[in-house]
Amino acid sequence: MSTPAVPSASGGLTTTSVSVLLYSNDRSVRDAVRVGVGERPADDVVIERWKECATPEVALIEARDGDYDLLILDGESQPYGGMGVCRQLKNELFDCPPVLVLTGRPGDGWLATWSQADAVLSRPLDEARLTAAVADLARR
């Protein structure tokens, strides 16, 4: 689980280390997200561990059993999209981690709301918005 940011003795903030589950059946999407987020999406947030899943079955098992702090789900994944995976997890996991859903286009925001996602980004992915969303969710 994440290590929360707390004031240090010098008055600054310590870092929050998080583990991230990334689901997409498209390797290029997974690569773009990992590269876009990087190891340090903000001064106070560090990605300690990435786990990539290419199938919805593995994503669901990992989300339930893997002790992740943040989930990033590709809404365009096939055969079962990240929005459906998100809704299932939000309804089945008692303490579901925050979820960022990636949509195919801005008009899909209403569907991402249905999925109960905590944050939504549409493609094409903007690195600044992606890192800001990940950092914000990591701090929760």
pLDDT category at 109 given cuts 50, 70, 90 is: confident
Angle between helix axes 127-138 and 27-37 (nearest 10 degrees) is: 70
Q: Which CATH number fits domain 16-138: 2.60.120.260, 3.40.228.10, 3.90.550.10, 3.40.50.2300?
A: 3.40.50.2300
Quote the percentage of the chain above a pLDDT of 70.
91
pLDDT tens digits, one per residue of 46-98 = 999 999 999 999 999 999 999 999 999 999 999 999 999 999 999 999 999 99
